[in-house]
Amino acid sequence: MKIQGIEITKINDTLWEIPKYGGMLVPGRIYTSKNLLDSTLQNDEAIKQVVNVAHLPGIQKYSLAMPDIHWGYGFPIGGVAATDLDEGVISPGGVGYDINCGVRLARTSLEFNSIKKRISKLIENLFKNVPTGVGAHGAIRKLSAKEIKNILVNGSQWAVEQGFGSDEDIIYTEEQGKLKGADTGAVSNRAIERGMDQAGTLGSGNHFLEVDIVKEIYDKEKAGVFGLFKGQIVILIHTGSRGLGYQVCDDYLKVLVEAGNKYGFKLPDKQLACAPVKSEEGQNYLGAMQAAANFAWNNRQIIMHIAKKTLMQTLNISESELDFHLVYDVCHNIAKIEEHNINGEVKKVCVHRKGATRAFPPGNNQIPAKYSFTGQPVLIPGDMGRYSYVLAGTEKAMDETFGSSCHGAGRVKSRHKALKMGKGRNLVAELKKAGIEIQAKGYRTIAEEMSYAYKDVSDVVDVMDKAGISKKVAKLRPLGVIKG
């Protein structure tokens, strides 16, 4: 069959391939279903972007896309590509503007029936205590440039040292909340300035903090290890590196456009601006990107601590009664140096995950020892009107997708179209009727983020589960949401 004039071949019910043609160095592969292909990709430029990414120098095996694929900057959102360290490149388009946008799940011992009458007040207080929206600031005091640089090096460890959480939180954060190659010297003064008053802030758009109920358990054994049970209250946080990360990306896109000309790259899209991984430009971007990623982990750590305190104060319960613990924190906009099996040889590669979540398998030494049997928790937020999922990574992901899974539902309506669809409707009342309390800075954000703007995340997750890339453990449903 052809989509957007591109030949695409069915391998099986969950995997489709774009054969190599023209300047493609590798084939393209898309994990999806026939239904998702027909309903969401016929008029989306994302498939062309899968083809474009396959032109990157040094790309290994495939240009990959997850079932939440949709159009993005350079790479499709939902795109994954690994490049050779010696002959390959690094591209900001394969990371995105919101460096280390990610998801954090915290569990409690609370059950829905014990707090259902307090949900509205809880959401009100969370909205009051966690700054949201464009330019949000003031969660903690304004930090100095020296303190920001400390965060850029130490990530969420900085927050824990300042009393925003515990050492246990570090254990259950991807990379223990810190990429060690962070280079503060590669981060501009403007980026540092933008981060000074944004630590512990949620931001705008699709970022959120939710109070959820565990609605379904699919794998009791793994759920037990994750500390999840049916009817349980959990907290889900989705945000990233805020203005600091945006500035890092913006700064380096300019640098890497020039680098592409310098190294003579001929790519089908200028948004794929890149530099050799080991070049000065590539190393500078990698160091700055890792620093921004550390800022994002610190950001989510502080927000989680504020949420914990708000729960205790609103519900008038003690820390032991709340029994609040981090399940895991994952990023889904990142480029990381990892070891993978490439055509029978284990080698280090630069894995770009643009709207894709790491999904490492049982026994992998990069995940907490507690999860050595289950595989890494994979956190997949849906839209605010339906549900989210907790999955577990598999060995098949390591074999086929460089240890990667989907990252969310995937947008199907532009923000402009979503806003138009919401015109004249009382969206807050619609959510309330569905049992969901919401607090947001304005109607516009609510309209842009309603369910009709997204694929059904259950369709996306089912593809990953059936493909064996990541397996379903639990389903969460929102009870209350705060957004910018």
Residues involved in catalysis: 407
- Of 58, 28, 64, 67, which is closest to residue 412 (Cα–Cα)? 67
DSSP secondary structure letters along 222-291: HHHHHT--TTEEEEEEEE--HHHHHHHHHHHHHHHHHHHHHTT---S-GGG--EETTSHHHHHHHHHHHH
SS3 293: helix
Contacts 24+ apart (CB under 8 A), 335-341: 335/90, 335/91, 335/94, 335/95, 335/286, 335/289, 336/175, 336/179, 337/85, 337/181, 338/82, 338/402, 338/403, 340/60, 340/82, 340/398, 340/402, 340/403, 341/398, 341/399
Instruction: Beginning with the edge strand found earlier in the chain, give each strand of the sheet holding 28-31 in spatial order.
Output: 9-12, 15-18, 28-31, 63-70, 77-84, 345-354, 333-342
E strand or H helix at 6: strand 6-7
Separation CA 131–CA 140 (nearest Å)? 10
